[in-house]
Amino acid sequence: MDEKRNQILETMRTQLSERGIEGDKVQFDATLAQDLGLDSLDTVEMTLGLEESFGIEIPDSDLENVATVGDAVDLIQRKLAVGA
Amino acid sequence: MTDALTGGSAVDRTRNEVVVTGIGLITPIGTGTLGFWSALMKGKSGAGPISAFDASGFSTQIASEVNDFDPSDYMPAREVGRTDRFAQMAIGAASLAWEEASGSKLSVSPERIGVVIGSGIGGLSTIEKEHKAFLNGGPRRVSPFMVPRLMPNAAAAAVAMKLGLHGPNYAPASACATGAHAVGEATRFIREGITDVMLAGGSEAALTPLSVSAFARMGALSTRNDEPARASRPFDAGRDGFVFGEGAGVLVLENRRVAEGRGARILAQVAGYGASADAYHVTQPDPEGKGAALAMRMALADADARPEDVDYVNAHGTSTPYNDRIETLAIKNALGQESKRIPISSTKSQLGHLLGAAGAVEAAVCALSIEHGIIPGTINLEEDDPDCDLDYVGDGPRDGAIQVALSNSFGFGGQNACLVLRAV
C-alpha cells in the first residue's frame, strides 16, 4: 500500500517539477495552496496530468476535499481501486 | 496642412516630451540592442527553413524564426508553463529594455508606470494545441490555462506582474501596425501627464501550421523556398510576398524631465504619432495610399516637423507586391518633392515581417539609427521596379546624421500608425 502511495507521489513530483515546483516541497502533508503555491487553475492542470498518467477520471467535485498532496494521493488511490 | 490635421490649433509646446531610455529586442537576427544592431549593420538575414514544424507540403517553407530564445532566461519555470511564447518573448524584451533603462533605479511610483504591449494574433499555438486536445479527448481535456495563455493582453499583464507596475495596462491589436500603435498610445499617456514612464511595444510568435497555411492562402507569403535569405526583398521587382517572422520589441518611454533629472541615457525623442484608417478593404491598401499618407502627415504635424526636416523613413516595406508599390505612392503623397531626397529603407528585408512586433522593433531601429548616425540598408534590392522609384538605400548602411526619422506601419484592416522620432 505504502509503495503505491510513494509511486503516486513520485508521479506528482515529476509533473509538478515540470511546472517549476521544487520536488522536495512535494510531501504528503504539503498543502497545495500554501506550501506549493498552486492556484485553482494549477490544480485543474495538475489533475489533467494525473488523469492521463493513471488512466482515471477525477470529477471537479472530488477536488473540493483535496487540500494536501496526501489528499490527492488518496483520491487517486481510491480511483485506481475502483478501476481495478 | 498642419492646421487641418491638428484641428486648427498648433502643437502644444508645453506638453510633456517623451524620450526613449531603453530598448529590448528579441528578433530573428539578434537579441539585445548590441547584437541586433551589429547584425543589422552586417546585412544579416533572419530567414531560413521553418524549424518550428514540418513544413514540407506547404507552399511556403521558410520563415524568420528566433532560434536562440530561452524563456527561462527571463522568468521562473513556473511562469514559463503558464504563458504562451508570444508573452514569453514580450517579457524577455521588456526585461532587456528595463535593464537598459536602469528601470529598477527609477524613483517613480509604480502607479505612474504603465505597459502598452500588443500582439497582432496572440497565442495561436496555444489555441491549436488545446483544440487538438479537445478534438481528441473532449471538453475536459482542455487546459485551464488556455485562456490566460492565448489572450493578446497576456503579455502586457505578465510584464506588469514581473516588474510590479500599476499604471495603465492593455494591448492594442491592429495586425501589422500593433507595435507602432502601442508606442504611439503609450507616448500619449506620458504627454498628458497620466504617467511618467511606459513600457511599450509588440510581440508575436504565431508561426504555426495553421497560420502559415492561412497567410499562404491569402497569397501574402514569399515562396522563394530555395533562397530564404533572398526571399524578403522590399521594393525589388522580383518581390513575391513577405517572410513570416516572430519576435518582440519593447521600448522604455519616459517623461523627458524625469529622464534628465535622473541622468538617464536618452536615445531619441518620440516626437510624433499619427494614426488613420484606409476605410477601403480589409487586406488591400487604398489604391492611392490615402490612409497611409494621412497617418504620415498626422505624425509629422504632431511632431511639428515638415517633410524638409525628415532625414530617414523606415518603411513598412513588407515585400508584398501591393504594399511596396502603394507605400511608395503614399510617401510621395505625404512628403511631396522631398520624397525623392529622403533615404528610405525596409529593415524587414533582414528581419522578415514580425507582424504585431514589427512597428515597435522598427521604432527601435529609428532610435538606434539616430543614436549611431547610420541609416540601415534594404537588402536584396537587385532589380528596379518602375513603381518603386525612390531612394531605398539598397547599397548597404549609409552614414548620415538623422534629426528626424519617420517609421511607417500599416496593418490588415487598413489600420495605419506612423511615428516620428527625433534626435535629442
pLDDT in tens, B388-397: 999 999 999 9
pLDDT value at residue B220:
97
Whether domain B19-261 has CATH 3.40.47.10? yes
* CA torsion through residues A41, A47, A52, A57, sign: negative
pLDDT value at residue B1:
46
Most confident region among A12-21, A48-57, B297-306 by mean pLDDT: B297-306
Average pLDDT of the segment spanning B90-112: 96
Q: Verify whether the Cβ–Cβ distance B77 to A45 is below 8 Å.
A: no
Tens digits of residue pLDDT in B188-220: 999 999 999 999 999 999 999 999 999 999 999
Chain B hits for A45, Cβ within 8 Å: 143-145
Instruction: Confirm whether the ipTM is greater than 0.85.
Output: yes
Tens digits of residue pLDDT in B293-333: 999 999 999 999 999 999 999 999 999 999 999 999 999 99
A41-55, B4-18, B30-44: segment of lowest average pLDDT = B4-18
pLDDT value at residue B5:
65
Chain B hits for A48, Cβ within 8 Å: 140-141, 143
Calpha distance B266→B259 (Å, rounded): 7
pLDDT of A83 over the 80 cut: no
Is B418 a known active-site residue? no
Q: What fold does the segment set A2-83 form as a domain?
A: 1.10.1200
Decide the pairing of beta strands B18-27 and B30-31: antiparallel
Tens digits of residue pLDDT in B49-64: 999 999 999 999 999 9
Is B166 a known active-site residue? no
pLDDT of B115 over the 80 cut: yes
DSSP A24: G
Contact B355, B318 (CB under 8 A): no
pLDDT of A1 over the 70 cut: no
Catalytic member of B131, B181, B281, B353: B353
Question: Same CATH fold, B273-422 and B19-261?
Answer: yes
Share of chain A above pLDDT 90, in %: 82
Domain ranges of chain B: 19-261, 273-422
Q: How far is CA B33 from CA A75, B250, B345, B368, in A?
A: 52, 11, 19, 9
Binned at pLDDT 50, 70 and 90, residue B13 comes out as confident
Interchain CB contact of B161 with A (< 8 Å): no
Tens digits of residue pLDDT in B360-389: 999 999 999 999 999 999 999 999 999 999
Domain ranges of chain A: 2-83
pLDDT of B148 over the 80 cut: yes
Tens digits of residue pLDDT in B265-303: 999 999 999 999 999 999 999 999 999 999 999 999 999
Average pLDDT of the segment spanning B163-175: 98
Q: Supply φ then ψ for residue A27, to 5 degrees.
A: -115, 160
Average pLDDT of the segment spanning B175-184: 98
Q: What's the number of CA atoms in the CB half-sphere (13 Å) around residue A72?
A: 29
Mean pLDDT score of chain A, rounded to an integer?
A: 92
Catalytic member of B176, B366, B388, B418: B176
Share of chain B above pLDDT 70, in %: 98
Average pLDDT of the segment spanning B21-35: 98
The domain covering B273-422 belongs, at the CATH homologous superfamily level, to: Thiolase/Chalcone synthase (3.40.47.10)
Chain A hits for B143, Cβ within 8 Å: 45, 48
pTM of the predicted model as reported, rounded to 2 decimal places: 0.95
pLDDT of A66 over the 70 cut: yes
